[in-house]
Chains A and B, each alone.
Chain A
C-alpha cells in the first residue's frame, strides 16, 4: 500500500508539473495574443487618428473659407459644420461623421483676430475616448484697413490764403477720385477740387470763388451742392463735370438770412439745415431733379439751429444734430419729400448743442459742443434711444464712419487729439481707440474712403486746410 501510495504521489506530482507548464504556456500565449491584438488595434487607431486629423483640418479649412467670404461669418462660440446651400456653414454645436464628432470653436483674440480650434473626438474603444484638436488664427485681412494703428497724417495741403477749411465731400470721375473742400469766405476761392487718386500726393486741380462761407457739401453724380452763408443763395449747385473747372450752375435763395449749415442729398432729393430763425423753418426738403434749378418742396420748424444732418435708416430719415436744449437729436421722416415730418427727438442731459451726426444701419452717432460722443439707436425713429456715450474732448465738429461701421472718426477741437478714433464695436460702450495729432489744426470735416483706405479732412489752420490720414 505504501509503495502504491508513493507511486501514486509521484504520478500526482507529474500532473501538477504538467498543469504548471500548461499554465505558463497559456500565460505566454495569452501575452502573445494580447500583443497581436494590440498591434492590430494600433494600426486601426493610427488610421482613425489620421482620419480624425483630416476631419479637424477640414474644420479649419471650412472656417477659413467662411472667413474669406466674410469675417463676420465666423461667429464666436462652439459650432458644428454642415454644407448648406453649397457652402460650409456653422450648424448646431457639433457635427458627426462616421462616428467622429467635430466641434469648431471660435474665440476672440482682438478686434481683427479670432482663434479657431477644430476638435474631433471619437470612441477608440468602449472605454476610451480619443480626440485631436487643431488650432489656427484667422485675421480679418479684408478689413485690416482703418483698424491699424498708428493712424498718421499721410499728406497735408496748404491752400493759398489763411481761410480755414470747413468740410469735405468726395466723388469719382473716370479713373480719378476727387475730394471737394469748402473754406470760409476770403479773397481766395471757397471751393477746391483736389485729386486724391494717389492719396499720398493730393493735387488741387480746380477751384471756384463762392463769395461766402461753404459750410457743407453734398455730392450727387457730378454735381456738388453747397450749403453757404450767402443770403441770396443758401444752396448753390456746382457742376464738377470738368474737375479742373468747377462751374456754378444754379442757386436757391431761401427766405430769411440765416446761414445754411448742413446739406445731405440722395437721388433727386436734398435736405438742407439752417441756423435758428425764430420765424422760419430750419429744415428744407428740396428737389434736385433738375440740378440747375433746385426747388423747395417742404419745410419743418425745429425751433433751433440745425448744425449737421445725416441720412439714416435706408435714407428714409434725416437725423439732425441741433442747438435745441431739449432736442439735441431730431429724427425727420423724409419718405415723402414733399411732406417731411419730425417723428422723434432725443433730449440729452445738459445744454450743449448737438454739433455732428453720422448714421449707419439703424443707428446714429452724435457729437456735441461739449465734446461728448453718443451712440443712438434709431431702430424706432419715433423714439431714438441713447445706447452709450464717452467724452472725446472739445467740441466735435464732424463724424465719419470707419470700416464695417465699427469705428468712428471724430473731428474735434482738442489740441493734440484733433481726430479721435472711437471704437463702437460694442455700441453701449464706445471706447477711445486712437487719436491723431494735427498739431493744433482743429479738424472740421471728415470723410472715410474704404477703397483708398484714407481719411480725408478739412482743418482750421493757416497751413493745413486739407489733410489725409493713413490708418
Chain B
C-alpha cells in the first residue's frame, strides 16, 4: 500500500511539476514577446510623433511652401525657411527612411534603420489668401506593427 501511494505521489508531483514548468515557460515566452511588441510600439509611436513634430514646427516657422503646388500632393516637401543657410529645407523619403535636408547640407535621416517608413504624402491644402498649410501623412512600421500618422500645419507668416 505504502509503495503504491509513493508511486502515485511521484507521478502526481511529476505531473504537477511539468504543468508548473509549462506555465512558467509560457509566461516567460509571452513576457519576451510582449517586450518585443512594446519596443516596436514605442519605436514607431515615438519616432512618428517626433518626425511629425519636426515637420509641423518647420512648416509653422516657414516663409513659404515651395512645393508641392497649391492643391497638389507629393512625396517630398520643400519649404522656404527664414534662415538663409537652411534654405530650402526639404523633407523626403529615401531607402525607407524619412530625411531632412537643410540648404546645401547633406540629408539627415530622421527615422532609425530599425523602422520602415513608407507612403509619405505632403498635400498643399492652402486656402486662397492664406499663408499656406500642408497636410502630412506617413506610415512607420517595425516588425509587424505599423501606424499611419496624420498632421496638418499652417504657416504663421
**Chain A residues close to B by CB (< 8 Å):** 4, 7-8, 11, 14-15, 18, 22, 25-26, 29, 32-33, 36-37, 39-40, 43-44, 46-47, 50-51, 54-55, 57-58, 61-62, 64-66, 68-70, 73, 83, 85-88, 97-98
Interface membership of B83, Cβ < 8 A: no
Give the residues in chain B near A70, CB-CB below 8 Å.
127, 129
- Is B45 close to A, CB under 8 A? yes
Please name the residue on chain B nearest to A62 by beta carbon.
B152
With A37-B34, A47-B44, A57-B56 as contacts: A68 and B131 at CB distance below 8 Å: yes
Q: Are A87 and B127 in contact (CB under 8 A)?
A: yes
Q: Interface-forming stretch among B74-82, B87-95, B104-112, B142-150?
A: B142-150
Q: Is the CB of A65 within 8 A of B151?
A: no
Q: Is the CB of A65 within 8 A of B34?
A: no
* Distance in Å: Cβ of A259 to nearest Cβ of chain B: 45
Tell whether B98 is near chain A: CB-to-CB under 8 Å: no
Contact B125 A86 (CB under 8 A): yes
Cα separation A70 to B128 with both chains bound (whole Å): 9
Residue of A nearest to B5 (CB): A11
Given A22-B20, A26-B23, A86 contacting B154 (CB threshold 8 A): no
A31 → chain B, closest Cβ, in Å?
Answer: 11
Tell me whether A83 and B150 are in contact (CB under 8 A): no
User: How far apart sit A62 and B23, CA to CA, in the bound complex (Å)?
Assistant: 52
- A197 to B156 Cα, complex, angstroms: 30
* Chain A: minimal CB distance from B147 (Å): 7
Residues on B with beta carbons closer than 8 Å to the beta carbon of A18: 12-13, 16
Complex contacts, B124 vs chain A, CB 8 Å: 86
A7 near B2 with CB under 8 A, answer yes
Interface of A is mostly: helix
Known: A61-B133, A69-B128, A87-B126. 14 other contacts (CB 8 A): A18-B12, A32-B27, A36-B34, A39-B38, A57-B151, A61-B152, A61-B153, A65-B154, A68-B131, A69-B130, A73-B127, A83-B135, A86-B70, A87-B71
- Asked if B115 is at the interface of the complex by the 8 Å CB criterion, the answer is no
Q: Which 4 A-B pairs have the closest CB atoms?
A: A86-B71, A69-B127, A47-B45, A68-B130
Interface Cβ pair total, 8 Å cutoff:
127
- Chain B residues with Cβ below 8 Å from A64 are 133, 154
Q: Within the complex, what minimum Cβ distance (angstroms) separates B28 from chain A?
A: 10
Q: B56: which A residues are within 8 A, CB to CB?
A: 57, 61
CB-CB under 8 A from A85, the residues of chain B are 71
Query: Shortest distance in angstroms between B15's beta carbon and chain A's nearest beta carbon?
Result: 10
Contact A87 B125 (CB under 8 A): yes
Asked if B141 is an interface residue, CB under 8 A from chain A, the answer is no
A39 touches B34 (CB 8 A): yes
In contact, B123 and A29 (Cβ under 8 angstroms): no
6 A–B contacts from the bound complex (CB under 8 Å)? A39-B34, A43-B38, A54-B150, A61-B153, A68-B127, A69-B127
Instruction: Chain A residues near B128: list those with CB within 8 A.
Output: 69, 87
Q: A36-B31, A69-B130 are in contact. Are A25 and B20 (CB under 8 A)?
A: yes
CA distance A416 to B38 in the complex (A): 73
CB-defined contacts of B42 to chain A, threshold 8 Å: 43, 47
User: In the bound complex, do residue B135 and residue A58 qualify as a contact, i.e. CB atoms below 8 Å apart?
Assistant: yes
Residues from chain A with Cβ under 8 Å of B45 in the complex = 43, 46-47, 50-51
A4 to B96, CA, bound (A): 75
Q: Within residues 23 to 61 of chain B, which ones have a CB less than 8 A from any CB in chain A? A: 23-24, 27, 30-31, 34, 37-38, 41-42, 44-45, 48-49, 52, 56
Asked if B1 CB lies within 8 Å of chain A CBs, one says yes
Interchain nearest-CB distance for B97 vs A (Å): 20
**Contact assessment for B30 and A65 in the assembled complex, using a CB-CB cutoff below 8 Å:** no
Closest residue of chain B to A66 (Cβ to Cβ) is: B127
Are B9 and A51 in touch, CB under 8 angstroms?
no
Structural contact, A83 and B154, CB atoms closer than 8 A? no
Q: Across the interface, do B125 and A88 meet the contact criterion of CB distance under 8 Å? A: yes
Please give the distance in Å from A119's CB to the nearest CB on chain B.
Answer: 16
Instruction: Say yes or no: A83-B123 contact (C-beta < 8 A), given A36-B34, A69-B128.
Output: yes
Give the shortest distance, in Å, between B141 (CB) and chain A (any CB): 13
Cβ contacts under 8 Å, A50 to chain B:
45, 48-49
Chain B positions within 8 Å of A29 at CB level: 23-24, 27
Chain A residue contacts of B1, Cβ below 8 A: 4
Q: How many Å from the CB of B102 to the closest CB on chain A?
A: 23
Whether B38 contacts A40 by the Cβ 8 Å rule is yes
Report the separation of the CA atoms of residues A73 and B125 in the bound assembly, to the nearest whole angstrom.
15
Residues from chain B with Cβ under 8 Å of A66 in the complex: 127, 130
Determine the distance from Cα of A98 to Cα of B147 in the docked complex, in whole angstroms.
9
Residues of A with C-beta under 8 A to B16: 18, 22
Residue of B nearest to A65 (CB): B133
B138 CB to closest chain A CB (Å) equals 11
Most chain B CB neighbours (cut-off 10 Å) among A14, A25, A33: A33
